[in-house]
Amino acid sequence: MRRLGIVELNSTEVKLLVVNELENQSYIVEEKRESKIRIAQDLAVDELIKQQSIFNVATILKTYKQYLNSFDVAESFALASSEYLSAKNQRSFFDELYSTTGFKFKILSAEEEVSYLYSGFINSLDCPKGLILNINGINSQVLAYNRRNCLNQMDILDGSVNVANKYLTNEQSPAKAMAEMVKSYSKHFDGITWFSELDEETQIVGTGDAFVSIAKLSRKLRKYPYAKVHAYQFSKEELDEVYNFVTTLDVDKTKKLKGISSQSADVLASCISMVKAFAEKSGINKFIVSTYGVAEGYVLTKINPIAQEKPISDVLGLWLETQNLYYNNSALKNTQNIYDLSLILFKQLKVLHKLPRNFVKVLRIASYMHDCGKRISGVEYEKKGLNIVLESDILGIAHHEQVLAAFVVASQNLQDFSMTDWIKYNMMLTEEDLEGVRKLAVIVKLATLLDSFGAGKVKDISCDILGDSVIMKTIVDSPADMEIAEGLKVCPDFAKAFKKHLEIL
């Protein structure tokens, strides 16, 4: 397994990623660090990077260099955002960074930056139609796509810092300043005709610190129970709720908000105002947040070059395979067998479970992650799987689907189902979800038992539903008496979930 390091430098942050490259041309993030900087203020004032800022960045990079050395990284890359193209002293700045830290930065063009952003999020989200908004310190970018085809792109010479500098003063209230910022940023989109051509299913895909801050505030106001930011979704009404909340705060109060850094607080009002202006001009009312950006897109295209030209067709499948390769390489084939059997059972028992097609994603995650609790212990590993699935980087799914899959994994033995844990996520879940989890848990457990020894003897299953019984006929390529005996252990749970007696032949 080869480790790679990626340093991403924009005008407000220095980001470090350490990843493990895997044989399926994907990666696992082993370490992620972010350090705030204030170069955007320098660029916004006179386009000159101040000596103090250079010193601060060099100090961070020296630490990152030591960190990469401690991880025994095979290769490292350093990227700088397109914002640095406007710096009058860009050459001396990057020469000094190279001489003092050893990092030789590639300054991205606006087109390259958007390209890597696109690769980062399109291969990590389930969002077939989107309008990307990326807000930097002194510029921003927009990209429209449909079914993974890029349609339109525009670059805007306004970012969170220079917009804040223009309007956030002590002379007017936050509410008035934010109204001015909405009005000002909206002008960038006057005359954009292709907004009207966007499909009604299009979502605004938000990347970067601006949307992370909005997501944190939105979660807090909604009392949203799931802590992940990536793939967080919210509506225009929820954005307006955040906007109205921030209009009541001056910068000092904003800095006291939990989870919002001091530097993010300085531009929180401008970020939210810019997003509000963009939403109103585009007419899009749905948002999804991506924490996978330039660095993630760049490393994926290094490991899997085809991903830059053609996005991955099965995002969820890639990242489930990646999880299994990294944590349990020997069981990968067995995991695929379990999913195949689970899917057969799902289809054969449809008349009983009556679950919609979107539960197949939940079933797929649970099948691949059914024994992830063994990373901790082989004893009662199913229950241990709840938090592992909740916290894992399983990409290409919605939060709702990941939470349901976590409960399916944890409840493979129905007596282990925890209503206490379930109630924590009540605002995300329904009674129908509860029934679905119980039925899928039994299906996944039955599939694992029918492949208990990893030999893949059971190739197919045919179910006859007769009165109060379900007769399952296994199609095998060699005697599977032990597997069938194991499968019969699920009969009590099957009766609870499906209200039918189970026989396996």
Structure tokens at 72: 């025994």
Query: What residue ranges do the domains of the chain occupy?
Result: 2-108, 125-291, 315-504
Structure tokens at 32: 């992620």
- SS3 percent helix, strand, coil of the chain, rounded to 5, is 55, 20, 25
Whether the CB-CB separation of 272 and 280 falls below 8 Å is answered with no
Average pLDDT, the chain: 92
Please state the rounded mean pLDDT for residues 217-229. 94
Decide if pLDDT at 252 tops 80: no
Q: Where are the alpha helices (DSSP H) in 37-169?
A: 39-46, 51-70, 90-101, 110-122, 160-167
Q: What is the predicted pLDDT for the residue at 209?
A: 86
Decide if pLDDT at 235 tops 60: yes
What is the Cα–Cα distance from 273 to 279, expressed in whole angstroms? 10
The dotted CATH code for 315-504 is 1.10.3210.10
Question: pTM of the full predicted structure?
Answer: 0.93
Please state the rounded mean pLDDT for residues 351-371. 95
Decide if pLDDT at 326 tops 90: no
> In this structure, which CATH number among 3.40.50.1220, 3.90.1300.10, 3.30.420.150, 3.40.50.740 belongs to the domain 125-291?
3.30.420.150
> What homologous superfamily is domain 2-108 in, according to CATH?
ATPase, nucleotide binding domain (3.30.420.40)
Q: What is the predicted pLDDT for the residue at 170?
A: 72
To the nearest 10°, report the CA torsion of 316, 318, 323, 329: 140
What is the Cα–Cα distance from 101 to 95, expressed in whole angstroms? 10
379 DSSP assignment: T
- Could you give phi then psi for residue 412, rounded to 5 degrees? -60, -30
- Number of helical H runs and strand E runs in the chain: 22, 14
Whether the CB-CB separation of 404 and 421 falls below 8 Å is answered with no
Please state the rounded mean pLDDT for residues 416-436. 94
Q: What is the predicted pLDDT for the residue at 332?
A: 58
Task: Indicate if 315-504 has the same CATH topology as 2-108.
Answer: no
Strand partners, 29: 19
- Could you give phi then psi for residue 250, rounded to 5 degrees? -85, 175
Q: What is the predicted pLDDT for the residue at 258?
A: 76
pLDDT in tens, 444-469: 999 999 998 888 899 999 999 998 99
Burial of residue 40 (number of CB atoms within 10 Å: 0-12, 13-18, 19+): buried
To the nearest 10°, report the CA torsion of 223, 257, 181, 35: -110
Please state the rounded mean pLDDT for residues 99-105. 97
Decide if pLDDT at 77 tops 60: yes
Q: What is the predicted pLDDT for the residue at 309?
A: 78
Q: What is the predicted pLDDT for the residue at 187?
A: 95
The percentage of the chain sitting over the pLDDT mark of 90, rounded to a whole number, equals 79
Whether the CB-CB separation of 26 and 296 falls below 8 Å is answered with no
Q: What is the predicted pLDDT for the residue at 337?
A: 92
Decide if pLDDT at 2 tops 60: yes
Residues contacting residue 383 through CB under 8 Å, at least 6 positions apart: 373, 410, 416, 418
Decide if pLDDT at 230 tops 90: yes
Decide if pLDDT at 205 tops 70: yes
Of the pLDDT bands very low, low, confident and very high (cuts 50, 70, 90), residue 345 is: very high
Q: What is the predicted pLDDT for the residue at 15?
A: 97
Q: What is the predicted pLDDT for the residue at 329?
A: 58
**Which range has the worst mean pLDDT, 183-192, 306-315, 404-413, 470-479?**
306-315
**Which range has the worst mean pLDDT, 67-81, 177-191, 274-288, 372-386?**
372-386
